[in-house]
Structure formats: structure tokens, C-alpha cells
A and B are shown apart, each in its own frame.
Chain A
């Protein structure tokens, strides 16, 4: 079997397993999985920049929240329906990612991390500053009546699960196609050896900018979808914590792999879920588990799997 066929089977199998999950799993876990799938889209967006292009951003919450607020504010203040509001969220992500990309890519390495962190804080503070419109920390609820998409009620648990699954599958397919395409191959080349890539005649800056825009846009898609699916928009999603989470998910799952972001999000979600049922000091247990995983599987779950058993894993 060719590597492409294996990868297709693996990713297709994951989607089928998630379909089956709806019929097998208890309701509680279905709710969790819907959240995990929506957040895994965010992780996949982050992975395009960090895992495949080698650019570490500490400010992706700005893109996630741009999508969420682009969607939420257009529902709240412009009276848009779910569909147009979703598009507004994506556009907000594209615009912000382009602007941030143009400015932040004047720096590299640690400076890039700091600049993205600062931009993200600026977005967070902007949301708080305009509290009369954004409702600040408290946030606002998207009413079920505004969550009808093509006649489908996204506040219904079953539709929500499948909407999250469809989005997840589309983004997974799109990112796996991206890294097979010449553009994606150049991103990987930049990650591996930027100077060599430039001296092969590739415009490194334009490729990096493309990566920031794609990554930011996918993150915004996730933010807009999360707001629509779970009916809440709030400033906490723009906080530093939501910039660090996708980094953790991707590191744990395996940076530069297609399934890694999902595995990392799943692992981290249930790690916190399980430990918090044991003790109130659950972050201590979660932290210890993360340290162990980083020590013994530094390439993440899918990354270790690739190195030991499946070199074909994309």
C-alpha cells in the first residue's frame, strides 16, 4: 500500500470512528467530542504555522477570537443570520492575519513570539475596551434562534456533533492536501532550512505570509464555529491562555502531523476532565502528565508513532 493510501485510510478511519462515536458513546462524551473537534480545528490551524512552517506564535488567540467576535458581533449588532455571520468571522480572521503577518514577519524567532503575543494582548484589551459593544469579560450568548444554519438547529446536540465533525473533516482534508501541494512542501522546506530554501529561488517572505494567513484563517473558522455551536462569545477566548492551549495541543499530539492536533486536543481535554474529578489540584496532575509526555515522547503522540512505527505518517 502506498503512503498516500495509508494516510487516506487513517484519516478516513478517524472520521468514521467519530461518526460511530455518536451512536456508541454516552451523551456526555458526545458533548465533549463536539467541543474537541471544534477546538482541534483551531489546533490544526496552529499546526500549519508552527508544525509545518516552523514559526512559533504566542498570539493565536487573536485569530480565534477574531473569528468568534466577527461572527458574534455581526449577529448581535447587525442582525445577521448564522451563515453570513460565520462568513464575517472568517473575513475578520483573514484581515487580522494579513495585517499581523505583514508586521510580525519583519521579525524572526523569539522576537516573532513576543510580537504575536503583544498583538494578541492588544486584541484582548480592545475587546475589553469596547465593553459596551462586546460585553467584555462577561461576554454574550448567541440565542438558539440565531444559530439556525441552512435550516439546521446548531443548538441541538446531534446536529451540533455532526456540524463539528463535518468542519473537522473538511479542515483535516484541506490541511493534508495543503502539505502535499508545492506551496506546503516549500513551507516544510522553510522549517527545515530557510536559507537553503531562499537559495533555491523561493520567496520565503511570501510563503511565510501565506502560512500566517492560512493559519490565522483556520483559527478564525474554529472560533466562529465554536461560538455558533456552543452559543457563547466572551473575552476569555482572547486571553493568553487560549494562545498557549493550541501550542500545547499541537506539541502533545505531534507538531507537523495531520492527526496530531486532534490527538493532542483529545488527550488534554480528557486529562483535565479526569484529573478534575479526582482532585481540585487537577492542574498539578495534568502538569505532571505533560512533563512525563514531553520527557518520553518529545515529538508528541503522533510524532513518536511516526518515528517508531509509521514513517509514512503525513
Chain B
């Protein structure tokens, strides 16, 4: 495994806001094809870390390599073009545009003027998240949970190499969560997934490997069972969660 170049890696990645070290010297490797969960208590720096990965905010120090090249200096849209897709923690769709147009925008950057191709990609993505047949509704008219699904569909329609999901199951019902789990497993053969998630059931069910952040640093990394048994993790995170 060590011989394989990871799809994504960071070295010494750091970001401070004022005096607060949100992310500090993080070394992180994500091999292609893995479903990786990123967990940690509130304020551990998870969203800041993935924002540094996809370029929404720029790093103070360190570098990010993606798909074999150094993307540290690239602006966000160039990193997305290189094959990352990002879904927002706080739902961010185009509320006054139809579902179809929301997802078409995601597909069109890749497919350009190919109208048929875009239509097929939109239909496929809506199918996958179970919103087929609602293509003409305005995204803003959907329930919160359905808007989360639109976000995920927008991610899928980009056919990314790396899909970054920031708390995707927040606000989903139990049945929607199990559908979400099935969906992620079904795309994992084509896409590497980095998942920030608070719902431990989802994490344990989906993740092949887990990275735990605490106070902006990597506290532990390992397979789900090892993480579950790790005393430091239990103290920092699971312990309080189960208290």
C-alpha cells in the first residue's frame, strides 16, 4: 500500500484564525477508492481542513497534492476542475432554479454543450438520490432533507475522482440515511469519498478508514474497530458522545 501514490495527500497543512490554530501541521494521505471518514468533536477543525483541501480557504503553511500534482497554489475552481467535488455543510443549492438546472450546472462544466449528455447525467444523478420525477420543482421548495440530497446529486453529476461530503446526513430521516449509505457504497467503486460525519452509525457502517481530528491535529488514524477501541479517541470524542 505504501508504494501506491495516494489520490490526495497533505503535508504540514496549517491554518490559524487570529490566535486560534484551527488546523495545525496535518499530514494526511487518502488512497484512491477508499471511503474515509473524518471525525472529531465540534470545533476540531474538520470543516476548515476540507476547506483547505478544496481551496475555499488558503493555507498558512503546508501543501496539498491531488491526483499527482501540487494544487496548493490553485484557486478553488481549478481544484474542482481537477476532479474534486465538495458538498457544503450548510446546504447551498440554487433555491430559485429548478432541480434539473441545479444538477445540470454541475454536469455542464464537464459536458459543455452536449445537451443530451447533460440531460442523461441529470437524470442519472436524480435517480441515484431518489428525486427522479421532481426535476421541474424549484430547489428552494424542497424540504431540508431533500435539499441535502440535491447537494449530493450535484456532487455525483460532476463525476469527481474525490467526493468531499461535509456532514451529508444532517437533517435526513432514518430511512433516508440508510438509502444514503447504500448510495455511497454504490459509488465507492468509481469515486474516492471523504466524509465528515457526526452520526457514528453512518461512520461505522461506511468508513473503511477513519481519521480523528482534535484541536486541529490528527489524534488517531485507523480502521473503525481500532478507532472505536482507542482510549484517546474515546476520551476526546466517543467518550463524551456516549456519556
What is the interface of chain A, defined by CB distance below 8 A to chain B?
182, 185-186, 188-189, 192-193, 195-204
Min CB distance A101 to B, Å, is 18
Looking at A188, A196, A198, A199, the one whose CB has the most chain B CB atoms below 10 A away is A199
Within 8 A of A (CB), among B47-95: 54, 56, 76-78, 80-81, 86, 88, 92-95
- In the complex, residue of chain A having the shortest beta-carbon distance to the beta carbon of B79: A201
Contact A196 B88, beta carbon cutoff 8 Å = yes
A-B pairs with the 6 shortest C-beta distances?
Answer: A201-B80, A192-B94, A201-B81, A196-B92, A201-B109, A201-B77
| Chain B residues near A193 (CB-CB < 8 A) | 92-95
| Contact between chains at A185 and B105 (CB < 8 Å) | yes
Whether a CB of chain A sits under 8 angstroms from the CB of B15 is no
Q: Which single member of B77, B93, B112, B113 contacts A198 (CB below 8 Å)?
A: B77
Q: Which residues of A are found within 8 Å of B113, using beta-carbon distances? A: 182
Question: Could you tell me if A189 and B94 are in contact, using CB atoms closer than 8 angstroms?
Answer: yes
Report the minimal beta-carbon distance from A188 to chain B, rounded to whole angstroms: 7
Task: Decide: B93 and A203 in contact? CB cutoff 8 A.
Answer: no
How many A-B contacts at CB < 8 Å in the complex? 54
Do the beta carbons of B93 and A200 come within 8 Å of each other? no
A-B contact pairs, 13 of them (CB 8 A): A182-B112, A186-B105, A189-B94, A193-B93, A193-B95, A198-B76, A199-B56, A199-B76, A199-B86, A200-B106, A200-B109, A201-B158, A203-B77
B93 touches A196 (CB 8 A): yes
Q: Is B97 an interface residue (CB 8 A)?
A: yes
Q: How far is the CB of B72 from chain A (nearest CB, A)?
A: 18
A167 → B minimal CB distance (Å): 28
Least Cβ distance of A190 to chain B in Å? 10
CB of A200 within 8 A of CB of B154, answer yes
- How far apart are the CA atoms of A202 and B108 in the complex, in Å? 10
CA distance A188 to B95 in the complex (A): 12
CA A197 to CA B158, docked complex, whole Å: 13
Whether B104 is near chain A, meaning CB under 8 Å from some CB there, is yes
Contact between chains at A204 and B105 (CB < 8 Å) = no
Q: Does B134 contact A (CB under 8 A)?
A: no
The answer for the CA separation of A240 and B112 in the assembled complex, in Å, is 40
A186 contacts which chain B residues (CB < 8 A)? 105
Q: Residues on B close to A: CB < 8 A?
A: 54, 56, 76-78, 80-81, 86, 88, 92-97, 101, 104-106, 108-109, 112-113, 154, 158
The closest CB in chain B to the CB of A197 belongs to B105
| Cα A2 to Cα B162 with chains together (Å) | 38
Minimum C-beta distance from A293 to chain B (A) = 22
B91's closest neighbor in chain A, by CB? A196
Contacts A185-B104, A192-B97 given: A200-B92 contact, CB under 8 Å?
no
When distances are taken between beta carbons in the complex, the residues of chain B under 8 Å from A188 are 97
Shortest beta-carbon distance, B56 to chain A, in Å? 7
Q: Which residues of B contact A198 (CB under 8 A)?
A: 76-77, 80
Query: In angstroms, how far is the closest chain B Cβ from the Cβ of A129?
Result: 40
How long is the Cα–Cα vector from A136 to B81 in the complex, in angstroms? Answer: 50
**Pairwise interchain contact A202-B77, C-beta atoms closer than 8 A:** yes
Quick check: A200 and B76 within 8 Å, CB to CB?
Answer: no
Q: Which residues of B contact A185 (CB under 8 A)?
A: 101, 104-105, 108
**A186, A200, A202 pick with most chain B CB within 10 angstroms:** A200
Contacts of A199 in B (CB 8 A): 54, 56, 76-77, 80, 86, 88, 92
User: Cβ of B108 and Cβ of A182 under 8 Å apart?
Assistant: yes
Residue from B81, B94, B106, B158 having most chain A Cβ neighbours under 10 A: B94
Q: How far is the CA of A201 from the CA of B76 in the complex (A)?
A: 7
**Chain B residues, Cβ within 8 Å of A200:** 80, 105-106, 109, 154, 158
- The residues of B that contact A189 with a CB separation of less than 8 Å are 94, 97, 105
Complex Cα spacing A203 to B101, Å: 18
* Contact status of A195 and B92, CB under 8 A, knowing A182-B112, A203-B77: yes
Return A246 CB to nearest CB of chain B, in Å. 23
Task: Give chain A nearest CB distance to B102 CB in angstroms.
Answer: 9
Q: How distant is the Cα of A171 from the Cα of B42 in the complex, in angstroms?
A: 54
* Docked CA distance A173–B79 (Å): 36
Complex interface: chain A residues within 8 A of B94 (CB): 189, 192-193, 196
- State the CA gap A200–B93 with chains docked (Å): 11
Instruction: Give the residue name and chain of the A residue nearest to B92 (CB).
Output: A196
In the complex, what residue of chain A is closest to B113 when comparing beta carbons?
A182
State the Cβ distance, A300 to closest chain B Cβ, in Å: 16
Which chain B residue has the least Cβ–Cβ distance from A195?
Answer: B92
- Nearest CB of B to A81, in Å: 38
Q: How far is the CA of A189 from the CA of B102 in the complex (A)?
A: 9
B109 contacts A202, C-beta separation under 8 Å: yes
Contacts A185-B101, A200-B106, A200-B154; A192 near B80 (Cβ below 8 A) = no
